[in-house]
Amino acid sequence: MSFSENAITVLKSRYLKKNGLGEVIETPDEMLQRVAKHIAQTEKDFDYWYEKFYEFMASLKFLPNTPTLVNAGNPLGQLSACFVLPVGDSMEEIFEAVKQTAIIHKTGGGTGFSFSRLRPKGEVVQSTKGVASGPVSFMKVFDCATESVKQGGVRRGANMGILRVDHPDIMEFIHCKEKEGEISNFNISVAITDDFLEKLANDEEYDLINPHTKKSVGKLKASLVWDEVATNAWKNGEPGLVFIDRINRLHQIKGVEIEATNPCGEQPLLPYESCNLGSINLSKFVKDGAVEWEDLKETVHTAVRFLDNVIDVNNYPIDQIKNETLKNRKIGLGIMGFADMLVDLNVAYNSQEGINIASKLMDFIQSQSHIASSDLAQKRGCFPAWEESIYKDQNILMRNATTTTIAPTGTISMIADCASGIEPYFTLAYHKQVLDGKKLKYVNERLLDRLQSSGINVEDFLEELIANGGRLKGLNVPKSLEDLNEVFVTSMDMDYTAHIDMQAAFQAYTDNAVSKTINMPNSASVDDVKQAYLYSIKKGLKGLTIYRDGSRNVQVLVSASNK
């Protein structure tokens, strides 16, 4: 096993079993044995699958999402990261959803909601003759509840709040997180409809619909709302966008409506659905400058089987969630360490070749995961809602309604010690302040290897690199290192189109959605943000999160995990 020092620190603080005194009573190896044992329990040939599951985690080729690592074989037993709960337009339904949220957070899951069914602020409430508080006010209730419940006892819960662009309270929603610290346990996104985009293209007004009466209660100029969204995203990265009609058009199950996604946006789900994720660490699949396709194929097949087993051994926190999840049996296999893979292939992230590799890779992973799910369907049966799915039309048996999702891998990439998700490196080197005032130096390992074999004074060069914000670009790089400039790129070295092109390349071959931050320099304008929006629509994304450098005091996404 090859956990790094950083990985062991993370594992000790959040993942390994502790006794009543808070002392760690499990080794990382025992953790993986516990997980493999729990997930292999449904297998007839337990020994074989236990060994396979253990081996592909121990070699850090694959890791499941955090709740699986923490809870498998432990009393909580809740293994999924992603949930969507419906919020109905009555006090009973709203507070039922608050309660369900608390229960899910307690077990380590994250929750997404659409607040679009709630009547707008100020509408008279028949039973009390009072006035309705509106979606934003109720979001604050969910936010407070989240604040008090630590996820699985280890981290604060994460939420996604979504409001349709045609909800009468849309303007209040767009501004609801403007003040730093407000509703801080939520990410927020505006659900953009096709009708809205059409009105925007024609520079027209669109109708605001009261979800309670289904009647139009006013109009807004589409360009005005677009401007407000872009201005706020420019100011502090929120709201994000989800292209909700597009998500529904591409949904694998017919006759049902998706309203929301999980907290980081990569997993659109039906009300009460949950999904478990797992990610393949691509940094382990390059040998002598070439992708090891056979090994990757085998890993995809094992991962699909693993994630399908998770559905059956999962301890669902609420009966409705169990029922809805078992109908479609969605799983989300994704990747991490993509930036590492590109460096090992000597290819720049922001190049056509980089995009080509992304497309080829995800096409391969998606089609192999479909073959794996189809093989499982022959043995274990199709998912129960298969008759209502696109797979019936195509006459393809499937065990799972979806197989692929690209998650941020915020924590599991630290455990695997690789670049997170499909993000480029955020920085190549930095000083990290540790508790006793000492400074630790972090350096990208692949870069360090190359520096050490180049014959330069590595220490001096690293100090210059750190002073340059951890970027090679703009630095006086010695001649012997010039070829590194192109390949060791960071997220700030490329413009937004390169980020969106990469997200689009992956989205084209992903059943669910892709988590990615579109980084922009501090100097970007509101107009640049709007251009990025239009470009993302043209490229077929399901959603978009932009972040302008330095626009938030506390940069939540800019963590060491993005390195």
Stretch that binds ligand CDP, among 117-125, 215-223, 263-271, 549-557 (CB under 6 A): 263-271
Q: Phi/psi at 548 (nearest 5 deg)?
A: -90, 125
Q: What is the DSSP letter of 253?
A: B
Residues 3, 87, 100, 110: which binds ligand CDP (CB under 6 A)?
110
Residues 85, 230, 264, 429: which binds ligand CDP (CB under 6 A)?
264
Residues 15, 32, 60, 66: which binds ligand CDP (CB under 6 A)?
66
Stretch that binds ligand CDP, among 216-224, 237-245, 261-269, 460-468 (CB under 6 A): 261-269
Quickly count: other Cβ atoms within 10 Å of residue 109's Cβ: 30
Between 211 and 334, CB nearer to ligand CDP = 334
How many residues at the interface with ligand CDP, by CB under 6 A?
20
Between 81 and 382, CB nearer to ligand CDP = 81
- Give least dist CB 68 to ligand CDP, A: 8
- Give least dist CB 13 to ligand CDP, A: 13
∠ CA 38-42-43, nearest 5°, is 110
∠ CA 114-116-120, nearest 5°, is 140
Residues 11, 31, 36, 81: which binds ligand CDP (CB under 6 A)?
81
Between 237 and 408, CB nearer to ligand CDP = 408
- Give least dist CB 545 to ligand CDP, A: 12
Between 423 and 493, CB nearer to ligand CDP = 423
Stretch that binds ligand CDP, among 123-131, 150-158, 214-222, 460-468 (CB under 6 A): 150-158
Query: By CB under 6 A, what part of segment 157-186 binds ligand CDP?
Result: 158
Between 266 and 417, CB nearer to ligand CDP = 266
d(CA 136, CA 357): 42
C-alpha torsion sign, points 401, 403, 404, 409: positive
Whole-Å CA distances, 73 to 37, 155, 411, 416, 440: 8, 20, 20, 21, 36
Instruction: Verify binding: residue 240, ligand CDP, rule CB under 6 A.
Output: no
Looking at the annotation, which residues are catalytic? 262, 264, 266
- Please list, residue by residue across 507-527, b when 16 or more beta carbons sit within 10 angstroms of its beta carbon and e when fewer do: bbbbbbbbbbbbbbeeebeee
Q: Which two tokens stand for residue 535?
A: 């470009």
DSSP assignment string, 381-418: ---GGGGGBHHHHTT---S-S--B-B---TTHHHHHTS
Instruction: Verify binding: residue 500, ligand CDP, rule CB under 6 A.
Output: no
- Give least dist CB 87 to ligand CDP, A: 17
Binding mask 399-428 for ligand CDP (x = CB under 6 A): --------xxxxxx----------------
Instruction: Give the residue among 280, 402, 380 at the shortest CA–CA distance from 43.
Output: 380
The residue number with the shortest CB distance to ligand CDP is 110
Residues 16, 31, 33, 65: which binds ligand CDP (CB under 6 A)?
65
d(CA 488, CA 427): 10
Instruction: Verify binding: residue 18, ligand CDP, rule CB under 6 A.
Output: no
Q: Residue 143 in contact with residue 159, Cβ under 8 Å?
A: yes
d(CA 445, CA 465): 14
Residues whose CB falls within 8 Å of the CB of residue 495, separated by 6 or more in sequence, listed in order = none
∠ CA 198-199-200, nearest 5°, is 90
- Give least dist CB 139 to ligand CDP, A: 17
- Give least dist CB 275 to ligand CDP, A: 9
Residues 100, 146, 262, 299: which binds ligand CDP (CB under 6 A)?
262
DSSP assignment string, 140-205: HHHHHHHHH-EETTTEE--EEEEEETTSTTHHHHHHTT-STTTTTTEEEEEEE-HHHHHHHHTT-E
d(CA 99, CA 145): 9
- Give least dist CB 110 to ligand CDP, A: 2
d(CA 151, CA 263): 13
Instruction: Verify binding: residue 82, ligand CDP, rule CB under 6 A.
Output: yes
- Give least dist CB 453 to ligand CDP, A: 32
Between 276 and 350, CB nearer to ligand CDP = 276
Residues 17, 155, 360, 473: which binds ligand CDP (CB under 6 A)?
155
Between 105 and 301, CB nearer to ligand CDP = 105
Instruction: Verify binding: residue 263, ligand CDP, rule CB under 6 A.
Output: yes
Between 213 and 559, CB nearer to ligand CDP = 559
- Give least dist CB 487 to ligand CDP, A: 26
For helices 28-40 and 46-58, give the axis angle rounded to 10 degrees. 140
User: What is the residue type of 49?
Assistant: W
Between 68 and 133, CB nearer to ligand CDP = 68
Residues forming contacts to ligand CDP in the complex (CB under 6 A) are 65-66, 81-82, 109-110, 151, 155, 158, 262-264, 266, 277, 407-412
